[in-house]
Chains A and B, each alone.
Chain A
Amino acid sequence: MIRVPVLILTMCLLAYVHAAARTIQIFPRQAKAIQGAINYAHEGDTLVIEKGIYNEPDILVNKKLTIIGNNYPIIDGGGKKQLIVVVHDSVYISGLQLQNTGRSSMTDMAAIRLQNVSGVVVHNNRLLNNTYGIYLQNSHYCTISNNKVSASAKDELNSGNGIHAWKSTHLMIHNNNVSGHRDGIYFEFVTESRIIKNVSTKNIRYGLHFMFSHRDVYADNLFVDNGSGVAVMYSKFVEMYNNTFRHNWGDAAYAILLKEITDSKIKQNLFIKNTVGIYMEGSSRIDVMQNEFKENGWGIRVQASCDNNVFEHNNFLSNSFDIATNGTMMLNTFNENYWDKYDGYDLDKNKIGDVPYYPVSMYAVVTERIPNAMILYRSFLTDIMTQVEKLMPSVIPDNLRDDRPVMKSWKLR
């Protein structure tokens, strides 16, 4: 019974603190309106930026403030400067339209830069035509959500990333829409973070770029039409669930490029119409399960430098080549996948094919060794060679096989 008064007391205290926090309205009349208001405000105040155009770059947020835009006021960098730099914890920024940062080879010009802070929330903003959209450096426990980040980058050298995070931990990147940057989302030395439900499209390099970032999760994202898909490199304990990789289609495009990844999980993703579904190099102990590979050029390219990976319960449908590899050694396990090219039988009706399936076609081996031979793709001769190889295997790596191919495709979605 003693708890109730304590609770009431706490609430009164909270109400008092709340009353002490003021709300300051900002109009675009005078120069430096926003910076002036920030300098004038106290910790915990709320700034409401009214609709209008503010040609006011280099805004330094050095207090704990809530900055809210009313009806998307425009803050314009005029193509020269950065826009907002946050150097204090627990700042909340929402409802702004930030556009036209400068472009410099000395500093990475960002629309919103979070510097050595924690607990900052950037929510529901529009970031248009910036070099870098949101730039987090050495920041922790920050949330970036519901932002629309777009630009029209032309080449890799003169452009930046949509959401860029460096040396941070515990980030939550949620429900953002990033397009037209160099990399949609870029993580370097970022750990224990989540990338959930984002849409990353038409970026000229990677939809998501991931380096030295351990124990991260990315789930329910959509990566479409990126120059080279998604690259995950030099990381451990990465989990990828339920993402869709669509039409990352070009001469050097992958849905996922895995380089030196260990102890990770790739589950329930959909790979559709990519040049290569998954490209793996030097990766170990990855579980690739319950994914669907559909209409890709290559479903998976596993280099011989990968070991102890498990490919289970995946669907391979209408890929030009299901699996390709560059060596004869294979230290990975393929088990109970569905292969639409499997033409074995199931006499005991246990829904598992009685003869093993060899997913590397003869022609995939030939072109892996001599890429120029691709000019004979789909010619009568190569079709015959593939059939002959099926009857008398001699070229394909015979330890790359699925001993228990399922007869019916898995219902994954």
Chain B
Amino acid sequence: MNTIVKYITLDLIKNKIIIIYTLLLGVISFSVLSIDSNSSKGLLSLLNITLLFVPIISILFATIYFFNSSEFIELLLSQPVKRKTVLLAEYSGLSTALCAAYAVGIGIPTIILTPSPAALVLLVSGLLLTLSFTALALLVFVLFKDKTKGIGASIIISLFLSLLFDGLLLIFIYSFGEYPIEKPILGIIALNPIDLARILMLLQLDVAVLMGYSGALFKKFLGSMAGSVYAIICMMLWVIVPLLLSVKIFRKKDL
């Protein structure tokens, strides 16, 4: 497995798109952080960029890459290796490359220019987002045979999670505003890794108090250690569950 991971990672690090992605993130974070004198504001802008670009780029790039390497996977499977090993190796190689890109592009500038716990949380949530959206791409890859359909599905997933989900949640909050819905909201939020990343980050910044002002429960629960742990565990589930599902489906898939 290690050999496969190594080859895929080395192959991807030389990939032009990954290099451009890294450079782009790096340029954005350097410019945002050096323009704004207020570091918390700079981190907020970087959070917006992370929430907008990381999911869609991760899932699209990963889906295309998986479909492109389907022949390579078939070739590997003709050798005496387990399907599970091959699939996980593909995933690890790709996610390592994407995570490295994010860590270099956003992580290094933020830690150099604004070393703070908030910068660390931004890095962690960005990495977890990359991991979960790559896992979702893997799930799309094992579910669909056709590349076009797969890419379409990826676009729908990322749009749904970054835009539509919040809209539905807002409608839900609007319709049931009269009821004590704080707890259901906390449950529903767990269904979207992007929202989890956003809240995890917001609670590290000053604006957290706005949340406390409107709903004491949000601040009390999410602002505590338990809340952060809850958010991180939910995000990890967003990595593990799609991975396990895709392994399970891939085992029985007719190639």
Contact = CB atoms under 8 A, between A and B. Distances in A.
A380 interface: yes
Interface string A247-259: 0011110000000
Given A252-B213, A378-B198, A370 B166 contact: no
A116 interface: no
Interface string B164-205: 001101100110010001100100010000110011001000
Interface in B206-221: 206-207, 209-216, 218-219
Contacts of B174: 370, 373
A375 interface: yes
B75 to A, nearest CB: 40
Contact of A373 (B41, B162, B170): B170
B156 to A, nearest CB: 16
A384 B166 CA distance: 12
Interface string B86-100: 000000000000000
B52 interface: yes
Chain A interface residue number, banded: 20 to 34
B44 interface: yes
A209 to B, nearest CB: 21
B10 interface: no
B186 to A, nearest CB: 8
Contacts of A9: none
A299 to B, nearest CB: 13
B67 to A, nearest CB: 27
Contact of B214 (A273, A372, A379, A382): A372
Nearest to B181: A372
Given A297-B209, A318-B38, A375 B218 contact: yes
A370 B216 CA distance: 14
B163 interface: yes
Contacts of B210: 275, 297, 320, 374, 377
Contact of B177 (A252, A275, A370, A379): A370
A80 B218 CA distance: 43
Give the interface centre of A251, A273, A367, A384 by most chain B CB atoms within 10 Å. Answer: A251
Give the interface centre of B162, B169, B189, B210 by most chain A CB atoms within 10 Å. Answer: B210
